[in-house]
Structure 1
Amino acid sequence: MSSFIATIALAALLPSAVAEDASTEERLASMFPGVEAENISPTPVAGLWEVALAGQVVYLSEDGRYMVRGDLIDMMTDRNLTDDRRNEWTAQQLARVSDRLDASRMVVFTPEGEVRHTITVLTDIDCTYCRRLHRELESYHAQGIEVRYMFYPLGGQGSPGWNKADTVWCSPDRQDALTRAKAGEDIKAKSCPDTPVQEHYDIGRELGISGTPAILTDKGVARGYVPADRLAAWLDAN
């Protein structure tokens, strides 16, 4: 359980004195340390309130007693309202870290023809859907999509995924090493003093990324694997 959700859950057990004339946002904010009224907003569901903080979203009943974890879907429009909120926050954070997204510190796969779109993918070498995306690299290139990889080993520093990312970066041919590592091969390379893995991991954490692949685009963030044709259609749409 994340610290944010744990705080919400714990605070719900504690008594709180709230002014009777306070707004619902103010009343709920007063119950949870670190949560401001501006982080709380009504949802289309009567009596259910959204609490969004640091890229995480949960829902509370108006009295603060009940918490709902999960995605809120508008069935009429087939829109994931929770994803909309997460992406709104991530887009704000992305603007703040944009000057740190240095392509020279990434492993970049560029199509031979025209580059119509560039995506930056936070990837974990051992992630199943990250591997699937990479196997379909030619399909992305056929859509004119350049793929830039940042390392985001979900196990954190010292994990096998982190060590593999370091090894890929220290290889003489990083593209080949990444492709072979994602195919399950054991890559051997000398260690090198300066890898970008910690930089990439820190950025991913700041963006609130909790799963891979996470695809950063100029239109927002696509969380999870997206087939090349669907991704291109989304990027092409006005």
Structure 2
Amino acid sequence: MNTHSRAALLSLQALLLISPQGALRADDAAQTIASAMPGTPIKSTLPTVIDGLYEVVAGDNVLYVDSTGRYLVIGSIYDLKEDKDLSAARRAQVSQTGETSGAPRPSSVIDAVPLEAAITVGTGDRSLTVITDPGCAWCRRLWLESLNSLSGVRVHHLLLSRTPESLGILCAKDPGAALGRAFEVSATTAKTPVPSARCRSDAEEKIARVARFAERIGAVGTPVLIRDDGVIHAGFLGRDALMDWLGGDTDAS
């Protein structure tokens, strides 16, 4: 998660903790998040199936805030009994009904993707853009469980964190291989080259472009997936769910 996002989330937590009686009401959630993240359009706020957890449609993302006001949850609610990703279904509903009309249009999202800053892995007619962070556990899981099993898809990885590991990956002779090693071994133990001053500057500019893009589309946290039609999914997707989301016609190894 980049510095801007961390600052926003810390501000959000501070605002939530001073809510009356330490509890957040559903009708206060949108205003609270809007105050903490002024650049993110808030469309709706609703209670969820979990007592005390509220859904907030922010930009093109479905996020959750707990009733104590302490936690912002980025990811999916999964019903184990029904074997169903409730958040994925809700995101699809939000997209179809135009509930995220305050967010950028899918076509404008695709046009704005900073491909010159991407690490592209794979080949194929389909493409997928992933805003990621080599130090993010869910990004690592996405790579290991989902992305590695796809074929026929070009995946554009956009690194969001300005860490030594990210800079080293961008400056590696083979950035795609370096990114894979970081996820497979873990970013903190994978050996990445120490970038030269010139390459470090170029890598920092690439990460800055990714940060501007993420802010523009209202992306909060990592991973964030962007389909080739501009539709956005925030959070982890397992292999089968990812294949379904991409259209169900990708190959899996």
Normalised TM-score (structure 1): 0.61
Please state if 1:4 is matched with 2:12.
yes
* Sequence identity percentage: 21
List gaps (5 residues or longer) in structure 2: 1-8, 36-40
Amino acid at match of 2:139: C
The 1-side partners of 2:137 and 2:31 are apart by 40
Match of 1:124 among 125, 129, 133: 133
**C-alpha displacement at 1:78, in angstroms?**
3.6
Superposed counterparts of 1:66-215, under 5 Å = 78-81=84-87, 84=90, 89=100, 92-93=103-104, 95=106, 97-111=109-123, 115-135=124-144, 138-141=148-151, 144-153=152-161, 157=162, 162-182=163-183, 183=185, 184-191=190-197, 192=199, 193-195=201-203, 196-206=206-216, 207-211=218-222, 213-215=223-225
**Residue of structure 1 equivalent to 2:5:** none
Q: Is the 8 A contact 1:123 1:214 kept in 2?
A: yes
Q: Relative contact order (alpha carbons < 8 A, sep ≥ 6): 1 or 2 greater? A: 2
Q: Give per-residue Cα distances to partners, 1:3-52, cap 9 Å, x unaligned.
A: 335324424259xxxxxxxxx99x75898695799644576899997555
Aligned residues: 209
**Residue of structure 1 equivalent to 2:232:** 220
The 1-side partners of 2:156 and 2:18 are apart by 41
- When residues 187 and 135 of structure 1 are mapped into structure 2, their CA distance, relative to the original with a 3 A threshold, is farther
The 2-side partners of 1:175 and 1:7 are apart by 40
The 2-side partners of 1:133 and 1:46 are apart by 28
SS across alignment from 1:120: strand
Amino acid at match of 2:111: D
Amino acid at match of 1:109: V
List gaps (5 residues or longer) in structure 1: 15-23, 61-65
Question: For the pair shown, which has the larger CA radius of gyration, 1 or 2?
Answer: 1
